[in-house]
Structures are given as structure tokens and as C-alpha cells.
Structure 1
Amino acid sequence: MLVQKIVEGCPCLLYLNLSYTLVTNKTLRELSRSCLSLQYLSLAYCYKFTDKGFLYLTTGKGWRNLIHLDLSGCTQMTVNGFRYIADGCPALKEIVINDMPTLSDSCILVSALLAKCHCLSAISLGNSAPVIFSFFHCMCSLGNNQLTDVSWKALCSSSQGLRRLHAAECPRMTDVGLRSVASLKNLQYLDISFCSRCVSFDVGILYLTEGSSASKLKELNVSHCSHITDTSVMSIAQRYRVSFHIHTLQSKLHLLGMATLEGIRLKKLVLAECVCVTDAGIEQKLCKNVRDLEHVDVSHCAALTDAAVRSFAFYCRGLVTLRMSDCPKMTDMAVQYLTSGSQYLRELDVSGCILLTDRSVRHLERICPPLCSIMMACCIGISRAAALKLQSRVAYWEHSNDDPTCWFGQIVHPVIKPIRTNDTLEITEQHSVMTTTAST
């Protein structure tokens, strides 16, 4: 009833998040009747509606402009539901179907999402391992197997328009599968985290950096891939080193009042839990070449030292976010490098860096602002009194003296505590505790 009142009173509604609610088929019927402008809808983890609710899509006009749909965890969906979605959402660009262990190929094949939704450019299948091959190619019917290289080849050959690909936790992806992904010409975001069973991920990364996908790639997540080494870092550096030179040329052209060029710019790189990456890979290969990096995560890369941070601070002058939690070799010198060279740094996570002391806090005080988020969980060398000096100067603050072995035996995303600033209360971000195979 409440949703009905909302949609009736807001005919121009564009964004609606109903995740984790008890919405029913009646709600979906009202949406199809009233929300003619709706573009974004999340029904994630809503279990009360059935396929019949999506039948209204084929008769109403409410979802004709929908471009993003999240159905994560809606395990009650069957063949008919996906068929109705394909018929009723012709403008659909992004569909999220994470956590769907019951999802079968027939659902996707019969609904013909790829065939009918011609604008579809982003698919998320996180933790939906049993999705079978005909999702990617109607000629493949190999039973209830997990995604393999055959699947990735079929998907990438038939979906060249994909811009975002979330392929985390796909245990049967190998270097051959990455070679298929590398053929995507418009790929901007790629997440292959937790795909750690590949024979040699260094070869797969080489395919990526030499393939068509590298031409527009801006975000790459290879966290928890234990086979990633400095060789992969070198491949990334060699591909994107042209970025710095183009950036320099752009500056000169701008000063001359001439048109600028659009270069290949990798903006975000997640290497968390890539335990084989060393200072040499970061300093000598990555940072000297890929200077456009703005967001970097090297959490749990135990081999890294202050030298790696020095490279980020000196070469990546536009660095905005740096996460280096549980890097036990980092010292106060690393923080000093950051505060001296990273003038745009806004978010820093040094949780579990046990060698940091109150001296690091004094360094950080100099860059608050622009630094507005600081996480120092399990920093046993930083006193509470010193840490509190930063609390009033940042929007997000977190500190504890807990024993790191109690936290980092598991991967913990620290709680960001709500801080009052300018009489407003910031929202608390929850954390998740998982085993050592958890994602960032």
C-alpha cells in the first residue's frame, strides 16, 4: 500500500530501491501502470513476488524506459520471469543477478535477454556459479556445469558491447577465458577477483593488456588472485605507460588552445591479497609508467614496504584513494611520503599496519583536508590520544588498538563510525567478516 501511494504521487520517479522488502506481485503491477519514467529498479533479495509480477511488464508501459534492474538473490525466478523481462524492458542496459545459485541456462535462453535486450551492455553474475552455457550461446548445452572457457568465449564473441564485466569468484576461469575477455572492445570495468585457480594468471593478464579490451579499460580488480606476480604488473605498466605521455601532450595542447587527445587511462587498480607482488613490481614497473592511477588497493600484500608507497606518492600525483591495510612492513616513513607527495589524497586505510606510531598521525594532520577518510583499525602503535586528534578533522574516522591477529586472521572491512559534522550525522557503513577468501 505504501509503495502504491508513492508511485501514484510521483509519476516522474526515476530511481526506486525496494531491496530486502516484502513487495508482492501487486507492487509490480502498480509500477507497470504508474512509473512511466522509471529507469533504475532494485528488487534484490525480495522473495514475495513471483514470475506473474513480471507478466504485467508485457501489458503496461511502466518499465519501457528501465535501464538498470537488480534481481540479486531472487531465487524464486523461473523461465517465465526472465521471458517477461526480455519482452517488457527493451531499453535495459544493466542487469544484476548475483547470488542466484538456482539460476539455470533455460531461464536466460528462453527469455532471450541477449537477443531481445539490444542495449544490454553490463551483466553481473557474482556468486551465480551454476549458470550454464546456453546463457552465452544457445548452441551450447553441456548440463549443470560451472562457467568454463567455452562459456566466456561464447559470451564475449556475442556481446562485444559489454562495458562492465563482474566475473568474481569464477573458479573455472583460466588464461584461455581471459583471452576471450580481452577481445571486448568497449570494456571499461573488469573484476576477476577470487579467480585464483587459473594455471598462470600472468599469461591471462598479458592477454588482457595486449587485447582490444585494454584500449578503454579504466578499472581492474585482480584481488585475491595468488598467481599474480610482478610479471603481471609489468604487463599492465607496458600497456598503459603511453598514458603519461599523452597526459603531458594534452597539457601542452591545452596551453596552446588546441584540441586535446583521449588517452588510455587506467584509473583504478585493486591488487589486494596479491601476495607475490613486490616493491620492484610497484616501484620500477607500475608507478613510473601508469601515473594516472587515482584509486589503489594493495591491502594484505605483505611483501610491500615503504618503497612502494614512496612510488605511489612521487609518481601518481593524482592519487585519491590508497588502501594498504595489513601491510606489516609499512612504517611512519610511508605515511610521511604520502603527506609530502599526495596532495589530493582523500581516503586512506592503514589498518593492521602495526609499525605505525603517533608520528604518522602528526604527518596526517598536515593533509586534513583534503584527506577526509582515515581507517586505522588494529594499529597497536598509535595511541588513542593521538588518533583522536584526527577525528574532528575528517568525515570518516576509525581507530582501534586491537591485536591484528584477531582481525586479520580473517579479512575484515572496518566499520566506518558515524561522525557529526556541521550538525549532520553521516551514515554508518557496515562491515563484513569473511574467511580469508572474502572479497573487498
Structure 2
Amino acid sequence: MVQRIAEGCPSLLYLNLSCTLVTNITLRELSSLQYLSLAYCYKFTDEGFLYLTTGKGCRRLIHLDLSGCTQVSLNGFRYISTGCPSLTEIVLNDLPTLSDNCIMALVAECRCLSAVSLLDAPNLSDAALRAIAKVAKLRTFSTEGNNQFTDWKALCTSSPDLCTLHATECLRMTDASLRSVGALKNLQYLNISLCIKWIQYLTEGASSAKLRELNISHCSRISDTSVKRITQRCIYYCTHTPIYPASLNLPLSQCSPIVSLDGVWKLCKNMRDLEHVDVSHCVALSDSAIRALSFHCRGLITLRMSGCTKMTDMSVQYLTTGAQYLRELDVSGCVLLTDRTPHYLERICPPLCSVTMTCCSGISKSAALKLQPRVDSWEHNSVHPPYYRMFGCIESSEMSVKTSTDPAMRLI
């Protein structure tokens, strides 16, 4: 089938073969491609990439996705490096067997890389980071769940135009590394959740000037001072007027509850253009904090405040009076909410179109059902709060309601 496609479409540039049973024969037939995905294909071997170095091959290839292809070994990456010298984007997610030598073999000839994704590659060390930094000038770099990456200085120094950095669960990221990240002048997206570090090095450096999205969830050392620095520094200047970050993720999920009303007030007052906010599990936040949020951030589109155990119906009432453009709301685990909450939410339906009220034991099923004709999707159950805190929301047919306006997707 792929052979017929290749013969009939000689100018084909994009081909997604992910999760298929293609073999080495398929790779032999491909040529002229610029984008190729072989993610989670297990039938081909290293020899398939040997065809890239002989004959026509895919020497114009600029994007390659090999996520989940654990059968590719060191030789395979050598063949890719030789056969695809123009490669600029490589996706190597879900490869627990990926080694430093594989990365070194890849970058030996691929010196045009601008985007690298290494999610779930726990065996890579600083040697891999240095090998990439030596030849590449990245604009996007992603990694997750790596406990061996410690020195990010080389990468940040060699890629001054890095604009997207996703580095979650990198528990050994040092303060010196954060200083290097903070020095990036064009950084727009940064995710360092679960890194458990201070963020002062980010707010003191040049990177804060253009940040559009910041995720520091599960970073336990966030205080009111940190929030103040974020509001003072994280401003993106365009050619006309300053624009504040449109998406700020500051949930502190299951972290130290040291962000108070004062911190939230400063956040909202100085960043009025916020559209997406996550304050989940900020157990110190109360109705007054939500009042400040709804009063200052009237353009709010998405709000997640699950697990905020001090929130009452008054918080929802504040939202329905201030944040009148709200489209998505998550109040899961807010155990003090009652049947008044669905009543208040009806006032802003539409534009409110998605409501999540799982593990809200104070909201009855009958009250929740009244929202059904007013929103596109919603969830509700009355699971006892301890189950929410310990295991997440456990849904059952007796206590959970999840609906959608599409009949084919409706589940009750």
C-alpha cells in the first residue's frame, strides 16, 4: 500500500505511518519526504534506515518521529545521521533504552537541529546535553522524568534563541542551571514543574521579559515574594503596548501552601490580561482570593481551582459577577460547595461551556443535572473527599455523571 502511495505521489512531503505494521521494505520505497512519523512502529529494524543512506533515500527529511521505537539501536541512529543531514526536528519520546551514544551518533552529521524532544528517556546524562549543545542551535527542547540532567548551561549558552523549554520532573536541575535558563532572552514557554527549585533566578534574568506561558506546578518553594517577582518581571513587550502572559500555570499542586491572599492580589492586579489560571490545591486560598481574581482578571477564560478546600459558594458567586467570559471551570474537590454553585453558574452559561465538579460531596446530583442543557460538557460525582486526596477522583456508575451535548459522546 505504501509503495503504491509513493509511486502515485512523487511529490509527497508529509507521511504519518505511526502505529502501523510497516517494515524495512516500506523505508526502502520512501523518497522526497520532508516529514515522516514512524512512532510506535515495531516491525522495521536498523537496516531500514540503511536505505536512507543509499539510493534516493530521504535526504530532504527535516522532521522525524521515532517515539516508542525501542528496536532502533546505535547503528540505526548512525544511518539516520548519515542519510538525513538536513534533519531539523527529531522526536524521541518513550524510549527508555535511549543512550548517550545514540544521541552522539545522531548529531554527528545532523548539525541543523532546532527542535529535540526526549520525553521519558531516563538513561540520558549530561553527556547527551553537551553533545547536542556542541552542534545544534535549538529553539525547542523537551525532556521529562530525567534524573541525570544536571548541567543545562552548555545547552542554554549554545542556543541563545531557545524559545520553548519543557523540563518537567528533572529533579537534579541545579540553581546554576536555572541561572542559565533565566539568561535566555527569547524564552516564551517554560515548564519546570516538579523540579522543586526556587524561581528567583528566572525572574531576575532576561528570560522573564518575553515569557508567555509559565508552569511551575509542584515547585514547593514558591512564596508571595516569588509571585511578586513574576508579576513585576514576566511582561512581554510587543511593538505597541505591553502584553502580559496569556497563560500562567501556578497551581502549587500538593505543595507548600505559602501563597496567600496578598500574593494572589498582587498577581491579579499586575497581570490583568491573564486568560488561563490554575491554582489547584492551593489550600491557603479562600473566597477573598477568588474575589481578587474575578475583579481584576475579567477576561479570564479558564480557571482550575480543584482541591481548594476553603472555597465556598461565595467564590463561585464572585466569578459569575466578575469573570463573565469564563469558558472552562474546574472546582473538583472543593468540599464546601453546595447546590448554590450550579445555580450561580447558570448565570454565565454561555459562555461557560465546560464544568468539572467531581468529588464535590456538597453538590447533589439533581442540582448538577440542571446545568446539562446549558453547557457542552460537565462532570460531577459525590465521591467522599478522602478518596479524592488519596487516589484522585474515583468514578462509578452510581455516583458519577459525565455528559456532552454530542449524543454519541454522552455518558451517564
In structure 1, how many angstroms separate the alpha carbons of the residues matched to 2:50 and 2:241? 45
In structure 2, how many angstroms separate the alpha carbons of the residues matched to 1:416 and 1:23? 41
Q: Which residue of 2 aligns with 1:386?
A: 367
In structure 1, how many angstroms separate the alpha carbons of the residues matched to 2:180 and 2:101? 23
Q: Which residue of 2 aligns with 1:225?
A: 219
Change (3 A) 1:337 1:23: farther
Contact 1:96 1:123 in 2 (8 A): yes
Amino acid of the residue matched to residue 210 of structure 2? K
Task: Tell me whether 1:271 sits opposite 2:250 in the alignment.
Answer: yes
Q: Alignment partner of 2:355: what SS?
A: strand
Between stretches 368-377 and 388-397, larger displacement belongs to 388-397
Task: Tell me whether 1:76 sits opposite 2:82 in the alignment.
Answer: no
For 2:232, which of 235, 238, 245 is the aligned residue? 238
Structure-to-structure mapping, 1:27-66, within 5 angstroms: 27-30=26-29, 32-33=30-31, 36=32, 38-39=34-35, 41-58=36-53, 59-60=55-56, 64=60, 66=62
In structure 2, how many angstroms separate the alpha carbons of the residues matched to 1:14 and 1:184? 34
Change (3 A) 1:282 1:70: farther
Contact 2:126 2:150 in 1 (8 A): no
Structure-to-structure mapping, 1:297-316, within 5 angstroms: 297-316=278-297
Q: Which residue of 1 aligns with 2:404?
A: 419
Cα deviation 1:251-304 (Å, max 9, x = unaligned): xxxxxxxxx515353222222314334233543321111222211111122221
For 2:110, which of 89, 98, 116 is the aligned residue? 116
In structure 2, how many angstroms separate the alpha carbons of the residues matched to 1:413 and 1:191? 28
In structure 1, how many angstroms separate the alpha carbons of the residues matched to 2:289 and 2:310? 11
For 2:209, which of 203, 212, 215 is the aligned residue? 215
1:378: how far off? 0.8
In structure 2, how many angstroms separate the alpha carbons of the residues matched to 1:320 and 1:262? 21
Q: Alignment partner of 2:256: what SS?
A: coil
Gaps of 5+ in 1: 251-259, 429-440
How many residue pairs align between the two structures?
393
Q: Which residue of 1 aligns with 2:183?
A: 183
Task: Tell me whether 1:295 sits opposite 2:284 in the alignment.
Answer: no
Amino acid of the residue matched to residue 207 of structure 2? S
Amino acid of the residue matched to residue 102 of structure 1? T
Change (3 A) 1:51 1:218: farther
Amino acid of the residue matched to residue 120 of structure 2? N
In structure 2, how many angstroms separate the alpha carbons of the residues matched to 1:186 and 1:357? 46
Task: Tell me whether 1:339 sits opposite 2:312 in the alignment.
Answer: no
Contact 1:19 1:46 in 2 (8 A): yes
Structure-to-structure mapping, 1:347-426, within 5 angstroms: 347-411=328-392, 417=402, 419-421=404-406, 425-426=408-409
Change (3 A) 1:125 1:229: farther
Amino acid of the residue matched to residue 268 of structure 1? S
In structure 2, how many angstroms separate the alpha carbons of the residues matched to 1:321 and 1:17? 32
Cα deviation 1:60-109 (Å, max 9, x = unaligned): 46572544x43333322222333444445556554332332222111111
In structure 2, how many angstroms separate the alpha carbons of the residues matched to 1:128 and 1:172? 15
Amino acid of the residue matched to residue 169 of structure 2? E
Change (3 A) 1:101 1:339: same
In structure 2, how many angstroms separate the alpha carbons of the residues matched to 1:139 and 1:98? 16
1:19: how far off? 4.0
1:182: how far off? 1.6
Contact 1:123 1:165 in 2 (8 A): no
Between stretches 319-328 and 46-55, larger displacement belongs to 46-55
Change (3 A) 1:403 1:118: same
Task: Tell me whether 1:101 sits opposite 2:86 in the alignment.
Answer: no
In structure 2, how many angstroms separate the alpha carbons of the residues matched to 1:276 and 1:366? 32
Contact 2:383 2:394 in 1 (8 A): no
Change (3 A) 1:217 1:412: farther
- TM-score, scaled to structure 2: 0.84
Structure-to-structure mapping, 1:313-324, within 5 angstroms: 313-324=294-305
Q: Percent identity?
A: 57
Change (3 A) 1:412 1:123: farther
1:149: how far off? 3.4
Q: Which residue of 1 aligns with 2:130?
A: 137
In structure 2, how many angstroms separate the alpha carbons of the residues matched to 1:284 and 1:374? 25
Amino acid of the residue matched to residue 314 of structure 1? F
In structure 2, how many angstroms separate the alpha carbons of the residues matched to 1:229 and 1:372? 33
Amino acid of the residue matched to residue 43 of structure 1? L
Contact 2:49 2:76 in 1 (8 A): yes
Cα deviation 1:224-247 (Å, max 9, x = unaligned): 12222222212111113x56xx7x
Q: Alignment partner of 1:379: what SS?
A: coil
Q: Which residue of 2 aligns with 1:434?
A: none
Q: Which residue of 1 aligns with 2:195?
A: 195
Contact 1:218 1:265 in 2 (8 A): yes
1:398: how far off? 0.9
1:178: how far off? 0.9
Q: Alignment partner of 1:364: what SS?
A: helix
Q: Alignment partner of 2:270: what SS?
A: coil
1:377: how far off? 0.7
Q: Which residue of 1 aligns with 2:141?
A: none
Contact 2:58 2:83 in 1 (8 A): no
Cα deviation 1:162-200 (Å, max 9, x = unaligned): 22211111111122211111222222211111112xxxx
Contact 1:168 1:192 in 2 (8 A): yes
1:38: how far off? 4.9
Q: Which residue of 1 aligns with 2:261?
A: 280
Change (3 A) 1:21 1:394: farther
Amino acid of the residue matched to residue 129 of structure 1? P
